[in-house]
Amino acid sequence: MIPLSKDQKLKYELDGVTYLFHPPIEEIEIALQEHLTEDNKPLEEAKKLLPVARKKLQAEYKKQKIAIPAKEEWDILVSEKLAEIMKEKGIVVDSIGDIIKEKDKFINIVLCGWESKLSIPKFNKENPSKGLNFPLKNKLYAWYLNQYTLTGEEVKN
């Protein structure tokens, strides 16, 4: 993305909401470069192992002939199983929370507003990521990184 000015906001529409971002220039570009160089390996490993944890847990429930619990309880059990598998593989589990906090911190730097005709909460200027669920944060984060890495040719097309 090649912004014309630092006042030009990037806009991303998702599910009827238009998210506004500061362009990746000046101090935001520096923060972005620092953020991109951090180690995201534990989070990537967790994403790969999540289906494994679900399958193992489902197999345990099937073997014991126990009904799978409600979604909220199931999600907690899956996260515990995931942590157990990661620990067995020697992956540091505590750092995943730090990575998530870093993503939140970055979203708080670049996200500067949202607009919608829908009834949505007021934008929180101090902590924009607060109240956003993790899948939505990931979508916004991925979209912003994609804008940062677009070349001039891609922008023309």
Q: What is the pLDDT of residue 82?
A: 86
Q: What is the pLDDT of residue 114?
A: 92
DSSP character for 128? T
12: nearest Cα among 149, 152, 108, 136: 136
Q: What is the pLDDT of residue 157?
A: 46
What residues pair up with 10 in beta bridges, in sequence order? 21
Q: Residues 140, 17: contact at Cβ < 8 Å? A: no
Q: What is the pLDDT of residue 37?
A: 66
CA distance 64 to 62: 5
37: nearest Cα among 89, 106, 133: 106
pLDDT tens-digit profile, the chain (157 residues): 455 567 788 899 998 999 999 888 878 777 777 766 665 666 777 788 889 989 999 999 899 888 888 888 888 888 888 888 888 888 766 566 777 787 888 899 899 999 988 888 889 888 998 888 888 888 898 888 887 765 555 555 4
CA distance 130 to 39: 23
